[in-house]
């Protein structure tokens, strides 16, 4: 069954919307930075590539790259929130590091995107992918492929956008040498920072409008290539839709990745004693993972409920932290009665939050184990022979997964125990942050390793690019 006019089953509309959300300037300030639409844009691009990536390898690689970019942008947003409490010189560092990471991910993702589309056009009879336009240089006229030109412009625009974010922040690095005489004609470059914002934002906006026009024109031409769209739709319906385990594996890979992010963002990261990696960030990832897992295991609902309670408690504790540390320091509890009472109320509230967080992680681990047990029955080779026993193989995999999740749960207990003790020990033991960070890093590293192991043992082999 082919696609009808006006329909876009292959996701080109979502890709267009996602790229459009990338056109805006980015300023390293939480209120005006406009980072969340970038994350949404990359998620939309990845969503648009979902169907095509199921049978075109390069588009699967492109989708992975855009998903990573979405999470990088979410991390960048958290970092920008932390900049409210940080010195001015932290902004250039965040802009530089995030810019390098974005460039390293964006360029290969775009290259894979267009290479995948080129393969799709060749294999499934697409003509719009190879459309050309005439370009006049002086007395010479030559033809260039629209796709190649757009690929180059996308990379140019995004790199320019990164530079336009970084360059104004470099003014923060200017320092005077107060040894000797300072020339009265010297000026502070930070004074011109608002002007840099205006000039670079205007330039990005102009280039961004061109970017939008070219993106919309290109992806619309692909959607209007009826034979191409019909061939892609037929391939998807004939070879991909009947594979139920394929979609289970795709969803479970995302579940495992989200839990890994939940573990990685559970780190205590204080700025002026306020934890900028608030608990609702970690629990947000956990809730997303549990919601996806609900399709296969109803007990994951407990992880969703407990995660939501933890989010509410983390917001309350963030407010309490800000209010307390605006008035007192940590060691004020040793001298001021009011500080003592408020600090230990905060500490107890954080203990409750961490206990609820631990309960949500353990509930998720139990639900994941039950889902894995069910998936083992329907995945892999379904026949037995003299050389292969599915029952024995499944039992071996189940025991391995169980061992990984058990140790992950034990490390989670240690992590949240350290988090519960953090405020109490901080008063007398200034190195407590080093200890809690070390425990958390071990927990996060092993959680990531465990999720990757489960993915490799069970789900990776169910996803084969055809």
Looking at residue 177, its pLDDT comes to 44
Supply 202's token pair.
């205007």
pLDDT at 245: 82
Contact (Cβ atoms closer than 8 angstroms) between residue 141 and residue 134: yes
| pLDDT of res. 459 | 87
Give the burial string for 131-157 (b: 16+ CB within 10 Å, else e): beeeeeeeeeeeeeebbeebbeebeeb
Q: Which residue has the tokens 């003592």?
A: 340
**Beta carbons within 8 Å of 338's beta carbon, 6+ residues apart:** none
Dist CA 183 CA 241 (whole Å): 73
- Residue for token pair 């590293």: 445
Please choose, from the candidates 440, 363, 347, the residue with its C-alpha nearest in 3D space to the C-alpha of residue 405.
363
- Sign for the CA dihedral angle at 216, 221, 226, 229 comes to negative
Nearest 10 degrees: Cα torsion 290, 293, 298, 304: 10
Give the C-alpha distances (Å, rounded to integers) separating 58 from 88, 116, 215.
Answer: 41, 5, 20
CB contact set of 417 (below 8 Å; sequence gap of 6+): none
The reply to whether the predicted model has a pTM over 0.85 is no
| Mean pLDDT in consecutive groups of 10 residues from the start of the chain, 466 residues | 53 92 76 66 92 89 92 78 60 81 94 93 87 73 84 94 84 53 55 76 91 93 90 87 84 92 90 84 94 93 96 93 89 88 93 96 96 86 62 86 95 96 89 92 96 90 65
For 191, the enclosing helix (H) or strand (E) is none
| Per-residue model confidence (pLDDT) at position 88 | 57
Q: Name the pairing type of β-strands 274-275 and 140-145.
A: unpaired
Q: Which of these, 293, 253, 263, lies nearest to 64 by C-alpha position? A: 253
132, β-bridge pairs: 145
- ∠ CA(185), CA(190), CA(192), 5° rounding? 80
**Can you give the pLDDT at residue 1?**
41
Closest Cα to residue 109, out of 26, 48, 23? 48
CB hemisphere CA count around 415 (13 angstroms): 28
Please give the Cα distance from 50 to 200 (Å, whole number): 34
Q: Give the per-residue pLDDT at 169.
A: 76
Contacts of 101 (CB under 8 A, 6+ apart): 72
What's the CA gap between 93 and 126, in Å, rounded?
A: 44
Q: What is the pLDDT of residue 259?
A: 96
Would you call 425 helix, strand, or coil by DSSP? Answer: helix
């Amino acid at each position: 069954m082919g696609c009808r006019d006006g329909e876009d089953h292959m996701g080109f509309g979502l890709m267009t919307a996602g790229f459009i959300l990338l056109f805006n300037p980015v300023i390293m300030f939480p209120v005006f930075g406009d980072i969340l639409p970038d994350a949404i844009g990359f998620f939309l691009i990845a969503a648009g590539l979902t169907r095509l990536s199921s049978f075109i390898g390069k588009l699967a690689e492109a989708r992975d790259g855009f998903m990573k970019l979405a999470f990088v942008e979410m991390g960048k947003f958290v970092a920008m929130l932390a900049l409210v409490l940080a010195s001015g010189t932290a902004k250039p560092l965040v802009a530089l590091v995030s810019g390098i990471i974005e460039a390293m991910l964006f360029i290969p993702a775009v290259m894979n995107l267009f290479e995948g589309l080129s393969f799709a056009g060749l294999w499934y009879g697409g003509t719009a992918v190879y459309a050309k336009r005439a370009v006049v240089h002086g007395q010479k006229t030559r033809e260039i492929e629209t796709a190649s030109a757009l690929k180059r412009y996308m990379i140019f625009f995004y790199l320019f956008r990164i530079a336009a974010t970084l360059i104004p922040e470099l003014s923060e690095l200017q320092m005077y040498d107060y040894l000797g005489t300072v020339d009265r004609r010297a000026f502070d470059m930070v004074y011109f920072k608002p002007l840099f914002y205006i000039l670079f934002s205007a330039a990005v906006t102009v280039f961004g409008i061109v970017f939008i026009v070219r993106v919309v024109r290109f992806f619309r031409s692909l959607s209007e290539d009826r034979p191409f769209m019909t061939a892609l739709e037929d391939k998807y319906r004939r070879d991909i839709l009947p594979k139920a385990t394929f979609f289970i594996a795709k969803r479970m890979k995302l579940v495992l990745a989200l839990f890994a992010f939940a573990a990685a963002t559970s780190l205590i990261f204080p700025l002026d004693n306020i934890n900028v990696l608030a608990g609702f960030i970690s629990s947000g990832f956990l809730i997303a993972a549990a919601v996806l897992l609900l399709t296969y295991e109803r007990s994951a609902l407990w992880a969703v409920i407990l995660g939501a309670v933890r989010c509410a408690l983390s917001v309350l504790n963030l407010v309490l932290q800000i209010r307390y540390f605006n008035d007192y320091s940590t060691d004020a509890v040793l001298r001021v009665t009011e500080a003592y009472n408020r600090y230990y109320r905060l500490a107890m509230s954080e203990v409750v939050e961490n206990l609820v967080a631990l309960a949500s992680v353990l509930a998720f681990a139990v639900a994941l184990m039950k889902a894995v047990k069910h998936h083992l029955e329907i995945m892999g080779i379904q026949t037995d022979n003299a050389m292969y026993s599915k029952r024995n193989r499944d039992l071996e995999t189940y025991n391995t997964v169980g061992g990984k999740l058990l140790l992950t749960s034990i490390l989670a207990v240690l992590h949240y125990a350290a988090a519960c003790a953090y405020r109490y020990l901080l008063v007398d033991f200034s190195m407590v942050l080093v200890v809690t960070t070390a425990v958390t890093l071990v927990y996060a590293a092993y959680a990531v390793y465990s999720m990757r192991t489960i993915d490799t043992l069970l789900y990776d082999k169910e996803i084969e690019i055809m």
